[in-house]
Amino acid sequence: MTVQPQVENPSVTVLERSEQPLRNRRRARRALKRLPVWTIVTIVVVVVLYPQVWMILGSFKTQSEFLSNPALSLPENWIFDNYTTALNNGNVSRNYLNSILVTLPSVALIVLIGVAAGYALEVLVWRGRKGTLLYILAGIMVPGQMILVPLFTVYFRAGLTDSLWPLIITYTVMGLPLTTFLMAAYFRSIPREIFEAATVDGSSPLRSFFVIGLPMMRNSILTIGLVQFFSVWNDLLIALTFTTRPDLATIQVGLLSLSDQYGSTQYGPLFAAVSINIVVLLIVFVFLNKKIMAGMAAGSVKG
């Protein structure tokens, strides 16, 4: 459980073979000085990882095995029974499907509409664009609770409550202000000369948006897309409010009702359903952690 990237450096192992007592002693003293640091690092890593490992290991155990030895121990047999129970019995597989059906279109809409608005507010020149950006920015401050009741009424009147549309529409609206603001900021960092040169070459500003703006924003689009993906995927409030039938529930709502259903009697299926969530996000994170971390930091320090 130690994180010591620099010690595993190959050049150090070469040195180790040509042993010299003096150097050894110096290294020992340095290691001793680093001991408190490594203790802290180890504690932090254990605190962060242990609960996750505990839950994932638990999801492979039988109920009796889990109860008799709940602390850290490997399962006697790696069984997937809990996973099949969770996916077949409850609505869990339906919940995951719903989450995907809601999250992908929402994120696509947020990013597409947001990047277009960012271009219109930053690259295009017109009177009132500063004010418009501020007007959109004001929406970041407003909590979701402020718009739930009116939106619920609207969706009910429009007959949309029996579908996933209320979720997709609401997530898109909620994600727009921050995305527009960040996209405008990213466009600001691109030299204007690029767009002006394209205009001289005969490209209309609309064409420049699709041919130059969008491709140049690829990185930012991926970053913002990831941030929005997590905020939509992880949301409970909006999903809970606009879900009228169990088979329309997203995974977060599903997990909540699953925990009511199994309560404190049957851990396996609940653990399995939660573990799927953890493992899928872990895989995404392993590949894209730099982008995710940069994006989430950018999203919070606004202004």
Q: Which of residues 73-132 bind another protein (CB under 8 A)?
A: 113-114, 116-117, 119-121, 123-126, 132
- Around 46, how many Cα atoms within 13 Å sit in the side-chain half-sphere? 9
Write down the least CB distance from residue 278 to another protein, Å: 6
Nearer to another protein (CB atom), residue 4 or residue 77 = 4
Q: Which of residues 217-236 bind another protein (CB under 8 A)?
A: 230, 233-234, 236
The token duo for 1 is 């459980």
Sign of CA dihedral 233, 236, 237, 238: positive
Write down the least CB distance from residue 21 to another protein, Å: 27
As a whole number of angstroms, the distance between CA 94 and CA 89 comes to 11
Phi, psi of 73, rounded to the nearest 5 degrees:
-155, 145
As a whole number of angstroms, the distance between CA 188 and CA 279 comes to 37
Residue of 147, 290, 145 whose CA lies nearest to 222: 290
Residue of 133, 290, 102, 117 whose CA lies nearest to 217: 117
Write down the least CB distance from residue 203 to another protein, Å: 10
Contact 107, 231 (CB under 8 A): no
Nearer to another protein (CB atom), residue 18 or residue 64 = 64
Q: Which of residues 238-297 bind another protein (CB under 8 A)?
A: 240-241, 251-252, 255-256, 259, 264, 267, 270-271, 274, 277-278, 281-282, 284-285, 289, 292-293, 296-297
Write down the least CB distance from residue 285 to another protein, Å: 6
The token duo for 169 is 């529409």
Write down the least CB distance from residue 175 to another protein, Å: 10
Write down the least CB distance from residue 16 to another protein, Å: 19
> Binding residue for another protein (CB under 8 A) from 51, 158, 162, 211?
51
Amino acid symbol at 237? L
Stretch that binds another protein, among 17-25, 53-61, 77-85, 87-95 (CB under 8 A): 53-61
How many residues make contact with another protein (CB under 8 A)? 98
> Binding residue for another protein (CB under 8 A) from 76, 196, 247, 283?
196
Residue 73's CB is within 10 A of a number of other CB atoms, namely 14
As a whole number of angstroms, the distance between CA 124 and CA 188 comes to 11
> Binding residue for another protein (CB under 8 A) from 13, 39, 77, 204?
204
Q: Which of residues 122-181 bind another protein (CB under 8 A)?
A: 123-126, 132, 136, 139, 141-154, 156, 169-170, 172-174, 176-177, 180
The answer for residues whose C-beta is within 8 angstroms of residue 166's C-beta and 6 or more apart is 151, 155, 160, 242
- Contact track, another protein, 6-25, x by CB under 8 A: x-------------------
